[in-house]
Chains A and B, each alone.
Chain A
Amino acid sequence: NAGVTQTPKFRILKIGQSMTLQCTQDMNHNYMYWYRQDPGMGLKLIYYSVGAGITDKGEVPNGYNVSRSTTEDFPLRLELAAPSQTSVYFCASSQTGHLNTGELFFGEGSRLTVL
């Protein structure tokens, strides 16, 4: 049972480079999220999606883009990497009915360093 899978686990980027963090879930969850976590800090919501074709901004969306063409995949794109984007990125998914009681399932994280 794979759950939420993130790739890559580690990546070093140069300033100005672009890259995509991949996130896939095999639980047929409709909701997906991207968070970042800076050292010693809590999680900050970057973007989220309530279903295929629908995305919305979170707390810290600047410098990132997302798409949700399928239920399973929710990639996060960094267009022009900056040192301030050095962080650990977590993808999560959940399934909710009308009661919105679904728990979040998190991936193992992707550690990104921008030099």
Chain B
Amino acid sequence: DAKTTQPNSMESNEEEPVHLPCNHSTISGTDYIHWYRQLPSQGPEYVIHGLTSNVNNRMASLAIAEDRKSSTLILHRATLRDAAVYYCILRGQGGSEKLVFGKGTKLTVNP
């Protein structure tokens, strides 16, 4: 199973942009990059996913490197509600459904 590597923790100030990196150097050509976040005492929730092109939705943007070996989740204006653990995982197309989460990045947002 392709693995991802994320920093253990990051800090940001409210109203500022946040860039959360993820390395996935062993990604295969058909793997989708998914991001989830887990608010305190809750189950994880979907944030965004992409394959090759950058993606935007109401929650965040996903920037994918040209070689696809890394990606960055972008929160354009962090709020206190964005304080959570963010997970980057790879999801194969037509392959294993053994979806493995790493330790994720704990984001702290300062007022």
Contact = CB atoms under 8 A, between A and B. Distances in A.
Interface of A: 31, 33, 35, 41-45, 48, 50, 56, 58-59, 90, 92, 96, 98-101, 103-109
Report the contact-size class of chain B (Cβ under 8 Å from the partner).
20 to 34
A33 to B, nearest CB: 7
Interface of B: 32, 34, 36, 42-46, 49, 85, 87, 91-95, 97-104
A31 B87 CA distance: 20
Given A100-B32, A100-B91, A104-B36, A42 B101 contact: yes
Contact of B43 (A31, A45, A50, A107): A107
B61 to A, nearest CB: 17
Given A42-B87, A42-B103, A103-B34, A50 B44 contact: no
A35 B38 CA distance: 13
Given A100-B32, A100-B92, A31 B101 contact: no
Nearest to B34: A103
Contacts of A44: 101
24 contacts: A33-B99, A41-B103, A42-B101, A42-B104, A43-B87, A44-B101, A45-B98, A45-B100, A48-B99, A50-B97, A59-B100, A90-B43, A92-B43, A96-B97, A99-B32, A100-B92, A100-B93, A100-B95, A101-B32, A103-B34, A103-B49, A106-B44, A108-B42, A108-B43
